[in-house]
């Protein structure tokens, strides 16, 4: 395990992430972030890491991916004093939406964004908890690009580097606090 930014001391965050083998099904090691969220100092550290990277970059919306991405994205938006935008699983957003489909191990899934959530040319950052195969984040990026957004950065608490998810993100700058 290493981290992307040498200035960051991520050891306390890394120690708090709990590996849960065979959840939600055999063969998956689930990265449980609830011990990080439950520790006020660590939660603040994560939010500060994300927000510090974005400071001064002219970002006006933080886009969170359903559901754990919301936890971080809303706090970062609050810290930077900018808007929060949810990318949600199909059928959850009440108004007119744009949709993107992506492949899962078995079958596919759809994520949606409100048509007026991001203006053309607006600078945004995307946040989620885990970058695994990259399918979810790639679908969210597709939505943002079709809105005309300029995606300054895609941020993750952790990246499962061995799954090469960042290769699906089309050259968008990726900032992961932990890389496995």
Does residue 133 interact with ligand AMP by CB under 6 A? yes
Helical axes 40-54 vs 68-80, angle rounded to 10°: 60
Does residue 86 interact with ligand AMP by CB under 6 A? no
* Alpha carbon distance 126, 144 (integer Å): 9
3-state secondary structure of 50: helix
Does residue 84 interact with ligand AMP by CB under 6 A? no
Catalytic residue among 105, 112, 122, 159: 105
3-state helix, strand, coil in the chain (%, to 5): 30, 35, 35
Does residue 135 interact with ligand AMP by CB under 6 A? yes
Contact mark string toward ligand AMP, 29..58, x via CB under 6 A:
xxx---------------------------
3-state secondary structure of 102: strand
Catalytic residue among 12, 68, 88, 167: 68
What tokens were used for 22? 């065979």
* Alpha carbon distance 2, 26 (integer Å): 27
Closest CB to ligand AMP among 60 and 89? Answer: 89
Does residue 175 interact with ligand AMP by CB under 6 A? no
Does residue 130 interact with ligand AMP by CB under 6 A? yes
How near is the Cβ of 52 to ligand AMP at its closest, in Å?
23
Which helix (H) or strand (E) segment is 88 a member of? strand 83-89
Closest CB to ligand AMP among 20 and 119? Answer: 20
Does residue 141 interact with ligand AMP by CB under 6 A? no
Q: Which of 99, 132, 150, 173 binds ligand AMP (CB under 6 A)?
A: 132
Q: Strand 123-131 relative to strand 150-159: parallel, antiparallel, unpaired?
A: parallel
* Alpha carbon distance 167, 160 (integer Å): 12
- Residues of this chain that interact with ligand AMP (CB under 6 A) are 28-31, 65, 68, 128-137, 165
Residues annotated catalytic, as ranges: 68, 105
């Amino acid at each position: 395990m290493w981290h992307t930014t040498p200035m960051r001391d991520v050891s306390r965050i890394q120690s708090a992430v709990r590996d849960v083998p065979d959840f939600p099904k055999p063969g998956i090691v689930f990265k449980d972030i609830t011990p990080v969220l439950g520790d006020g100092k660590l939660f603040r550290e994560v939010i500060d890491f994300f927000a510090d990277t974005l400071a001064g970059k002219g970002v006006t919306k933080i886009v969170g991916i359903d559901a754990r991405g919301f936890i971080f994205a809303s706090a970062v938006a609050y810290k930077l004093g900018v808007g929060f935008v949810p990318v949600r699983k199909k059928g959850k957003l009440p108004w007119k939406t744009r949709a993107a489909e992506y492949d899962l191990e078995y079958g596919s899934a759809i994520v949606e964004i409100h048509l007026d959530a991001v203006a053309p040319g607006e600078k945004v950052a995307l946040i989620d908890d885990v970058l695994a195969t990259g399918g979810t984040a790639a679908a969210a990026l597709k939505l943002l690009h079709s809105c005309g957004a300029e995606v300054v950065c895609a941020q993750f608490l952790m990246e499962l580097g061995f799954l090469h998810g960042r290769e699906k993100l089309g050259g968008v700058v990726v900032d992961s606090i932990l890389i496995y």
